[in-house]
Amino acid sequence: STANGEQILVQVEGTPKIPANRSAELWWIGADGTPVSVGVLPDTGRQVLTRQGLTGDEPAPTFAVSIEPRGGSPTGAPTGKVITTFTAVRSL
């Protein structure tokens, strides 16, 4: 983690083909069920995403990935189809 927020290492493998005008966006699903954007996923490879407000208090946090307009959701909430949800392998 950093002084500004929690860091998450994202490794993208075997992703579905996403149109050039769309992005895959990663969401942290809080204990109250509210999604918080962690950031837009890279098309391939690894990326470290940092997001303020991610506490890492949950023993196994839940994430979701949605397909959004290029650059990410314009509303701060998922607007496109959620293509997967998963639980983190280990606590942040």
pTM of the model: 0.77
The pLDDT profile of the chain, 92 residues, written as one tens digit per residue, is 344 456 666 666 766 788 999 999 999 887 888 998 988 988 776 777 766 556 556 666 788 999 999 999 999 999 999 999 988 765 44
Residue with tokens 């050039």: 20
Q: Which two tokens stand for residue 59?
A: 């023993």
| Cβ contact 12:26 at 8 Å | no
Please enumerate in sequence order all residues whose Cβ is within 8 A of that of 2, keeping only pairs 6 or more positions apart, or say none. Answer: 50
Query: What per-residue confidence (pLDDT) applies to 43?
Result: 76
Give the model's pLDDT for residue 53.
57
Q: Would you state the pLDDT for residue 80?
A: 95
Q: Which two tokens stand for residue 16?
A: 């579905």
